[in-house]
Amino acid sequence: MKAYLTRHAQVFMRTLGDFARSPAATLLTVVMIGVTLVLPTGLYVGLLNLQRLTLGWQPRGSLSAYLAKGVPHATVIAAIRQIPGVASIRYISPAEGLRAFATSSGLGTTAVVFRHHNPLPGVAVVTPLGTKPSSVAHLAAQLKTVPGIAHVQSNLAWVKRLDAALALGHRIVVILAVALGLALILIIGNTTRAAVASRADEISVVGLVGGTNAFIRRPFLYAGALTGGLGALCALILLEAAFLALDGPIAALDRAYGAHYHLSGPDLSQALGLLGLGALLGWLGARIAVGRALRSRRI
């Protein structure tokens, strides 16, 4: 086992030496792989940020029950609590609704004129236990039968549209990832094929003295995995630079809308996953290229 690990360590150090002897070619390949990986990774992280942003909005599938004028809200709230499938209820009084309207509309003290005759009704925001469309629709139908409720409004329609848009975005990311993953395999395969051709005489001698195919493949597999891993690291650096460039405009947008949202880059598990995926695709591209060369008896 010790000898086996020693041989692998020697091949690894030799691969690093080969990279150091041709820094320009290595850097060009790494940057090319980084640019290839940054697009699907950036889209994926962008979708995650959009999902985190929507979680702060009104609860998914929540129902707004508008109370009729002159109806005691305590009676209506008590009746709603008796309905099965209700997770929580939050009552918004007409005065609270007016203050929220004054703040969100930018009218400020102008809305004070409505205090003597507030046109806004009381609202009971009902959060259902489940978010399935059928259960939310059933709960909305039950709320409409409660005495004192004039109108029931659901946000289920925009939730469906948002979920459909996010599902489409995830599908696009998967398609791009597969296509650009194949491109990465081709890039590293061509690089490996050129390296094999340049060392054809050396490899022939190794074969004549008893070197196995596994021994011949090993340095190329290390080179492919390292190139893919370094390309993934380059993609992470490019993505972080893009987020830094977007930080200023997003902060200005936050100030304009009074929001408090921070754009988040890949976390540790996602970064490690991208590095592992880059190394795996690099290994696979090198494995395919060397395998074809060995089968064609060109080395």
Domain ranges of the chain: 2-56+160-295, 63-154
Tell me the C-alpha distance between 128 and 26, whole Å: 57
Tell me the C-alpha distance between 36 and 148, whole Å: 60
Say what the pLDDT of residue 54 is. Answer: 66
Q: Is the dihedral of CA 46, 49, 55, 58 positive or negative?
A: negative
Tell me the C-alpha distance between 102 and 84, whole Å: 35
Contact predicate 80/140, CB 8 Å: no
What does the block give as tokens for 71? 């109806």
Determine phi and psi for 84, rounding to 5 degrees: -65, 145
Say what the pLDDT of residue 299 is. Answer: 46
Q: Which of 65, 50, 43 is nearest to 242 (CA)?
A: 43
Contact predicate 228/287, CB 8 Å: no
- pLDDT < 50 positions in the chain: 111, 298-299
Exposed / middle / buried, residue 117 (Cβ in 10 Å: 0-12, 13-18, 19+): exposed
Determine phi and psi for 209, rounding to 5 degrees: -90, 10
What single DSSP character describes residue 65?
E
HEC assignment per residue over 104-167: HHCCHHHHHHHCCCCCCCCEEEEEECCCCHHHHHHHHHHHHCCCCEEEEEECHHHHHHHHHHHH
Using one digit for the tens of pLDDT, what is the confidence trace for 194-215? 888 877 777 777 777 766 777 7
Contact predicate 154/136, CB 8 Å: yes
Using one digit for the tens of pLDDT, what is the confidence trace for 112-158? 555 566 677 888 888 888 767 777 788 888 888 888 888 888 777 77
What single DSSP character describes residue 295?
H
What does the block give as tokens for 237? 């650096």
Q: Which of 190, 279, 289, 204 is nearest to 234 (CA)?
A: 279
Tell me the C-alpha distance between 295 and 253, whole Å: 59
Tell me the C-alpha distance between 96 and 52, whole Å: 27
What single DSSP character describes residue 35?
H
Class of domain 63-154: alpha beta
